[in-house]
Structure 1
Amino acid sequence: MHDLVFGWRTAVLSVAALVILPIAGGLWSTLANRTANRDLALLLVVLVGVFTPWLIGFAGFYDRWRWLTFLPVAVPLLGPPLLWLYVEALVVGETPRGAGRHLLPGLVQFAWLLGGFVLPLDLKNRWADIAMQPGDLVFSLALIVSFAAYGTASWRRLVAYRAALAQGRSDDSRFAARWLTRALAAGALLAAIWTVYALWDLVRPLDYKGLMGLYVGVAAIAVYLAIEGWRNAALPFPPLRDLTPEPPAQERDWAALGQAWREKIRAEGWHREPDLSLRRAARRLGANTGYVSRAFNQGLGQNFSRTINALRCEEVAERLTSAPAGAILDLALEAGFSSKASFNRAFRERYGMTPQAKRRMLEGLKS
């Protein structure tokens, strides 16, 4: 009987699995963003399954228990659609209709592996010689296509969501579009690593150890998604439908309306509310969201977020010379900004300089 050997390869992959699986369990039971977090939990389990054959293989499990050959746990075709479903659930607020059909290629891959796994031991080698190699090639090519298709769809959804956030929220920088950007970047990196290894293996077949780099990469990206996904599990995501303005019923003098409503918001101090939304502002102005959105976009040439942040920057600028030098961040928070980063970005966009440079300029004009 072969002895089990727990070398560095098994240790690296085991540590990754021990980090990922408890987090996946926590994500599954999280109440906030419940549907999305369950999609992410499933994705993490799938990624652990992808490198599990290497984890146990390097330890000698297959040599000791030959019946484990073709253990059907590595189903990477489930990965890209699950990442897309995660994005959809966060952005749209619900699972897309007919989502199950996107998992069918992965289920076919699972059935293919299961068919080899349940064969009698004396037939497994013959099955590997006849069918497994061409099957692996087909599934590898399908995975590359899947990465490209679902990655593109996810990125387009994120771009649309970012635009909608800027149209419908004054605090759009608070929300998790940045986390989704990093998650999709991790998915793109995984796709690139997998594609390189798949093409390399096609041109010059790699042995078991030669593929170790791929599975270390899978494990590392899965650990990143697990930790960052847990950190951002409860981050608020306004549903896309709530960010879409109602269409205006008729044409108006949008420039005049935009200026009047901008001044009304300034006079009432509504811009100081960090979570001011287009819907809330429109209700207070006695108009629908379509009118207000059109007035700012078409009349003033800027979206809702830029309009409100410009008012906040103007308030800070008015108070710069009368406040102590170290109180700029306090002024920004009082004006409605939720972070130093969003304030600095908006201030530079409004005035073309940093707050400190603006202070020096104003003090120079006074002297």
Structure 2
Amino acid sequence: MLTLLTQWMIGFSLISLALLWMVYWWVFKAFEKTWLSKIACSLMLTAMGLLQWHHWQWLELGHSVFSNPFYAAILFTSAPAFYLFSRELLQFNTRNHPALVLHFLPIALSPWLSGSIALPIAFTIGSVYALWLCLIVFKLRDQRQYFSLEFATFAAFAAIALFILLIGLLAPWVGEFWFVIAYSNLIGLALLAMLYLQLRFPDITQKTCDAVAASYAASTLKNTDCDALVSQLKQLLHEQKIYRDENLNLSTLADNLALSSHQTSELINTHFGQSFSRLIREHRVNEAKQQLIHEPKASVLSIGLAVGFSTQSNFYSAFRELTGETPGQFRKRMGIADV
């Protein structure tokens, strides 16, 4: 039963990884994707997929992972790929240097290291990168106005990371069976938690980018006419009502202003005192309030879609966040029968 459950989790992981790769390359537009972020993302997701594939081979065919130097090489690849991808997202103004390739140096040692040595080393390296990520996120604590997540979500990720570290360090002692079972399911749970995070908080990546941009002291708007840009942005919002486009994101708004995504994020943070996502939500909700009053025959759903929300749940969530009540409750308080 445990083996079958693990096989199902491996299958779920492989499908999820493929979908995440396609979404990142062709759909995701929350921030400007550099060539390094694309390569790092592809390496990270491919490495995770290959790890799960080797776990499946062990369960089905008995192919050892402890004595497989290619498996160790994959572990030594996934950790630095994760670091480089996170670095591109969270430290966008850091210069890239050819020396970054040295992060992959441990791969060269994998053919000469036994599994009992390679696995603890690989997971220790991974824990160092995870600690770096925790420190970066901790530095964003002063930017909590740009995003808020349930503590349980962070606690779940922390627990998964801790269990992965423990199973990796204890691999020589727990044996291949329990290592493969535990690590396969923990990878699957991490992907499940990530998918939940994106579905529960669809703009979390955008909010994180906003928080990162606001945390840097050095301005990215040097040599730009900020007053003219602010006027142009207000025109896009008030006259062209660009927020009505449900596909609007920071990248497309930046294109309209002839700026980079990070410059646009800083412009909004500095001159409007809020994040891009909140600015757009506020304009959508403000227009929705007017339509709820002046168009009593229109349904709540049709109004939400008209002002730019892609789903009714997103509309209700944003409306309650900004007004403290649902659209129906707002109509009722205004003395208008809900449709």
Which TM-score band applies after superposition, normalised by the shorter structure? 0.5 to 0.7
Percent identity for Structure 1 against Structure 2: 18
Q: Residue 191 of structure 1 corresponds to which residue in structure 2?
A: 161
Please tell me whether Structure 1 or Structure 2 has the larger radius of gyration of its CA atoms.
1
Cα distance between partner residues in 2 of 1:25 and 1:272: 31
Amino acid at match of 1:147: G
1:331, distance to aligned residue in structure 2 (A): 0.7
Cα distance between partner residues in 2 of 1:31 and 1:263: 31
**3-state SS in 2 of match to 1:268:** coil
Cα distance between partner residues in 2 of 1:301 and 1:24: 36
Cα distance between partner residues in 1 of 2:231 and 2:22: 48
TM-score, with structure 2 as normaliser: 0.60
Amino acid at match of 2:221: P
Find the partner of 1:355 among 312, 327, 331. 327
Amino acid at match of 1:42: A
Amino acid at match of 2:247: D
Q: Residue 69 of structure 2 corresponds to which residue in structure 1?
A: 72
- Contact 2:254/2:264 (<8 A) preserved: yes
Amino acid at match of 2:44: D
CA deviations on 1:281-333 (whole Å, 9 max, x unpaired) are 57767999899766643444223332232121111001113445882122111
Q: Residue 65 of structure 1 corresponds to which residue in structure 2?
A: none
Q: 1:282 to 1:324 in 2, by over 3 A?
A: same
Cα distance between partner residues in 1 of 2:272 and 2:24: 40
Find the partner of 1:247 among 196, 218, 221. 221
1:341, distance to aligned residue in structure 2 (A): 3.8
1:40, distance to aligned residue in structure 2 (A): 0.4
Q: Residue 83 of structure 2 corresponds to which residue in structure 1?
A: 84
Q: 1:185 to 1:218 in 2, by over 3 A?
A: farther
Q: Residue 126 of structure 2 corresponds to which residue in structure 1?
A: 147
**3-state SS in 1 of match to 2:69:** coil
Q: Residue 305 of structure 1 corresponds to which residue in structure 2?
A: 277
CA deviations on 1:175-219 (whole Å, 9 max, x unpaired) are xxx9xxx8x9887544311333467x59xx8453xx644432211
- Contact 2:47/2:77 (<8 A) preserved: no
Q: Residue 273 of structure 1 corresponds to which residue in structure 2?
A: 245
Cα distance between partner residues in 1 of 2:267 and 2:23: 40
- Contact 1:261/1:285 (<8 A) preserved: yes
Q: Residue 25 of structure 2 corresponds to which residue in structure 1?
A: 32
Q: 1:191 to 1:298 in 2, by over 3 A?
A: closer
Q: Residue 124 of structure 1 corresponds to which residue in structure 2?
A: none
Cα distance between partner residues in 1 of 2:251 and 2:60: 54
**3-state SS in 2 of match to 1:337:** coil
Q: Residue 342 of structure 1 corresponds to which residue in structure 2?
A: 314
Amino acid at match of 1:196: L
CA deviations on 1:137-181 (whole Å, 9 max, x unpaired) are xx52x34432333224456778999x99x99xxxxx9xxxx9xxx
Q: 1:329 to 1:151 in 2, by over 3 A?
A: farther
Q: How does 1:85-164 map to 2 (within 5 A)?
A: 85-87=84-86, 98=98, 99-113=100-114, 135=117, 139-140=119-120, 142-154=121-133
Cα distance between partner residues in 1 of 2:263 and 2:22: 41
For the pair 1:220 / 2:185, whether they are aligned, the reply is: yes
TM-score, with structure 1 as normaliser: 0.57
Q: 1:214 to 1:280 in 2, by over 3 A?
A: closer
How many residues of Structure 1 are paired with residues of Structure 2 in the alignment?
A: 298
- Contact 2:319/2:326 (<8 A) preserved: yes
- Contact 1:28/1:37 (<8 A) preserved: yes
Cα distance between partner residues in 2 of 1:280 and 1:29: 20
Q: 21-30 or 328-337, which moves further after superposition?
A: 21-30
**3-state SS in 1 of match to 2:317:** helix
CA deviations on 1:208-264 (whole Å, 9 max, x unpaired) are 3xx6444322112334567899999xx9999x8xx9795154787x6x985895366
Cα distance between partner residues in 2 of 1:289 and 1:229: 24
